[in-house]
């Protein structure tokens, strides 16, 4: 199957700082990528749809200014958690579709102290 | 609105026993259905998919699922589980929304295989 790489896998930051998470499609091009958030022992919640060369589409209730998404190329999307606070601590996962199938990154565990 | 219901939040089972993880979906249109597996602190790995054709779908690691349109179900089965199958399993349906094919996930089923 297709490979999606996500980096970093784990990040710890101080409250008030910003953190950038990268999502790359390694062996295919993705004009669209998806960003999810997962709380412990819960399912995945779609946060936003990242579009190459245009603005991201955010799901209802997701703060656009808090979670900045950039999709600058056909293989890279980034999620920046701005001015992070402890309540932003979570597991963030990206995915990229090819055909009718979404392939997922390994996820990023964000801990905000 | 489309939704996915995974009927069991946890399924304990002994090694080498058969297992079935249940999934029901609601949709008035044709759907694509998926099962993903998630190991601790990892992303999701595709187990199998139903896009069209045969209703019995075989996936990786010996898993299979059957698409039942009349019962709107897509239950996952394995005839003999291993300790290494212990993980979280998510059923998902693909929906076209806002110009994109998005995945709607069930709440997940924790499969715990005991020796």
What integer is the mean pLDDT of B49-69? 94
Q: Do B5 and B24 touch, CB atoms closer than 8 A?
A: yes
The whole-angstrom distance between B24's CA and the closest CA on chain A is 16
pLDDT at B28: 66
Q: Of the candidates A29, A23, A21, which has an alpha carbon nearest to the alpha carbon of residue A2?
A: A29
Q: Which residue of A has its CA nearest to B95?
A: A100
Q: Do A31 and A80 touch, CB atoms closer than 8 A?
A: no
Partners of residue B92 on adjacent β-strands = B34, B105
Q: What is the pLDDT of residues A48-73, one digit of tens each?
A: 999 998 899 999 999 999 999 999 89
Count other C-beta atoms under 10 Å from residue B87's C-beta: 20
What integer is the mean pLDDT of B41-65? 93
d(CA B8, CA B34): 17
Q: What is the pLDDT of residues A81-100, one digit of tens each?
A: 999 999 999 999 999 999 88
- Please report residues of B whose CB lies closer than 8 A to that of A41: 110
Q: What is the pLDDT of residues B17-35, one digit of tens each?
A: 999 999 999 876 778 999 9
pLDDT at B81: 97
pLDDT at B24: 96
What integer is the mean pLDDT of A33-50? 92
Residue contact A102–B90, C-beta within 8 A:
no
Residue contact A46–B43, C-beta within 8 A:
no
pLDDT at A20: 97
pLDDT at A15: 97
d(CA A14, CA A111): 9
pLDDT at A42: 87
**Which burial class, exposed, middle or buried, applies to B77 when counting CB atoms under 10 A from its CB (0-12, 13-18, 19+)?**
middle
Phi and psi torsions of A87, nearest 5°:
-70, -10
């Amino acid at each position: 199957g297709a490979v999606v790489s996500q980096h970093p896998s784990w990040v710890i930051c101080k409250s008030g700082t910003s953190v950038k998470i990268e999502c790359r499609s390694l062996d295919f091009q993705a004009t669209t990528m998806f960003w999810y958030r997962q709380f412990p022992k819960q399912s995945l919640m779609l946060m936003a749809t990242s579009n190459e060369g245009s603005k991201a589409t955010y799901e209802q209730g997701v703060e656009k200014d808090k979670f900045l998404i950039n999709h600058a190329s056909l293989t890279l999307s980034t999620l920046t958690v701005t001015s992070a606070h402890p309540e932003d601590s979570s597991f963030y996962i990206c995915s990229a579709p090819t055909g009718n199938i979404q392939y997922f990154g390994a996820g990023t565990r964000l801990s905000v102290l | 609105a489309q939704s996915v219901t995974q009927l069991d939040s946890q399924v304990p089972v002994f090694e080498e026993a058969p297992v079935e993880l249940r999934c029901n979906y609601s949709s008035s249109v044709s759907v694509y259905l998926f099962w993903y597996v998630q190991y601790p602190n990892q992303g999701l790995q595709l187990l199998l998919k139903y896009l069209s054709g045969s209703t019995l779908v075989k996936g990786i690691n010996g898993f299979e699922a059957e698409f039942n349109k009349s019962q709107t179900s897509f239950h996952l089965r394995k005839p003999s589980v291993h300790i290494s199958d212990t993980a979280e399993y998510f059923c998902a349906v693909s929906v076209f929304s806002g110009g994109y094919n998005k995945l709607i996930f069930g709440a997940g089923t924790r499969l715990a295989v005991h020796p």
